[in-house]
Amino acid sequence: MEISDKLLCLFSADVSDDGDRYVVEVPRREIETGSIEPGETYRVALISSDVEATTETDEDNVPSEPQPPVEAGEIRYVEIEDIGKQGDGIARVERGYVIIVPGADVGERVKVEVTEVKSNFAVGEIIEEDL
């Protein structure tokens, strides 16, 4: 299955019947992280939960630890929650994974490009401030 580079977020959701329409609920975290905005229109792709994610059975390809939820070059909207010992901004994303953002202050919402990814943290460069 090919996934578009324009993918903003990925989550599981139930489809509920609401009379003359059906509703797909978007998790609050997707709004809070800035992945999507209320009132905007988005294209939605639905994938059956019965579909296997992979057909590979080679156990050597299975990572022993969870992989970072970000990749180098990825663009993210984050909120700075704390300041690190070196004075850099600290943002947390999925599973509490830390993105260090030099030059950011607590409470700022910034658009960052992930420049470095390690197993337990990433570094992001601010490309747009005060969102």
**Residue 2 token pair:** 């090919």
Q: 């059956």: which residue's tokens?
A: 48
Q: Which regions of the chain are under pLDDT 70?
A: 1-8, 48-65, 131
Residue 127, pLDDT score: 95
**Residue 116 token pair:** 């470095």
pTM over 0.85: no
Residue 70, pLDDT score: 94
Strands (E), the chain: 15-17, 22-24, 75-79, 82-83, 89-92, 98-101, 109-117, 121-128
Residue 13, pLDDT score: 78
The dihedral over CA atoms of 89, 39, 11, 109, expressed in degrees to the nearest 10, equals 0
